[in-house]
Amino acid sequence: MMARLLWGMLFSSIGVGYFIYGKKQQSWIPLACGIALMAYVYFITNVYLIVALGVVIAAVPYFLRD
């Protein structure tokens, strides 16, 4: 339970950063990844899956650019 909360806070804070960056730059990829990072932790209960998906979603803006 505690690990899920901490990982959720970490990836949600990264998501807030992506969301703000995407909004200011008017770039939809970081904006969408930010929303996804903030939202997915509410639907997944497995800690390992939270970490794996968080790393994948956080890496998407690096590999895909507008």
- Residue spans of the domains in the chain: they are 2-63
Kindly report the pTM of this predicted structure.
0.91
* Cα–Cα distances in angstroms (integers) from residue 39 to residues 15, 16, 59, 63, 66, in the given order: 9, 11, 16, 21, 22
Give the pLDDT confidence of 2-57 residue by residue, as tens digits.
999 999 999 999 999 999 999 999 999 999 999 999 999 999 999 999 999 999 99
Contacts of residue 24, defined as CB under 8 A and 6 or more positions apart, other chains included, come to none
How far is 56 from 54, CA to CA, in rounded Å? 5
